[in-house]
């Protein structure tokens, strides 16, 4: 069970992220771009060559990075951790489906990443604020949690 202190921490981080995303256009752009950029990062992690000793591990570096991210999320909110595990698995499933159809996962992800990063910078330019992760890199992990919180809180999901 998540402690109250950790729960407040996730809400504090999301509130700080929220302050940097007040403009309606910037929010809409982030609602699309943030989950898709997360997808691209998951794809990149599956594309990076691994040493021979790790080649039996499905997903290349993804399980190692996902474990670190899961620890980060679970220390702040069990609910956020479960949501991000589920989303990571969904991303991995889509990546495997793309591979099954022999599509170039690395190239698709790189193209998407570049375009979507540009979209986010346009949103921040419209808003007149710098991206949150310029202040603190952990906001790269908070962005997806914030998006899912906005989508799921009307359904009663709380962190």
Nearest 10 degrees: Cα torsion 58, 116, 80, 6: 120
The per-residue pLDDT for range 77-115, each reduced to its tens digit, is 999 999 999 999 999 999 999 999 999 999 999 999 999
Tokens at 75, concatenated: 């220390």
Rounded to two decimals, the pTM is 0.90
Structure-block tokens of residue 81: 């951790």
With contact defined as beta carbons under 8 Å apart, do 145 and 80 qualify?
yes
**Residue the block writes with tokens 């039996």:** 56
Q: What are the tens digits of pLDDT across the range 35-68?
A: 999 999 999 999 999 998 888 888 999 999 999 9
CA–CA gap between residue 6 and residue 73 (Å, rounded): 10
């Amino acid at each position: 069970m998540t402690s109250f202190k950790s729960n407040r921490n996730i809400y504090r981080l999301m509130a700080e992220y929220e302050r940097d995303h007040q403009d309606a256009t910037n929010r809409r752009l982030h609602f699309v771009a943030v989950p898709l950029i997360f997808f691209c990062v998951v794809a990149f992690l599956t594309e990076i060559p691994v040493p021979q000793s790790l080649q039996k591990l499905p997903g290349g570096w993804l399980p190692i990075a996902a474990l670190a991210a899961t620890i980060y999320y679970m220390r702040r909110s069990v609910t956020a951790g479960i949501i991000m595990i589920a989303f990571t698995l969904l991303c991995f499933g889509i990546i495997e489906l793309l591979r099954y159809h022999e599509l170039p996962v690395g190239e698709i992800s790189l193209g998407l990443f570049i375009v979507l990063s540009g979209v986010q910078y346009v949103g921040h330019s419209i808003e007149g604020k710098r991206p949150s992760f310029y202040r603190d890199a952990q906001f790269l992990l908070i962005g997806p949690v914030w998006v899912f919180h906005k989508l799921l809180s009307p359904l009663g999901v709380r962190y």
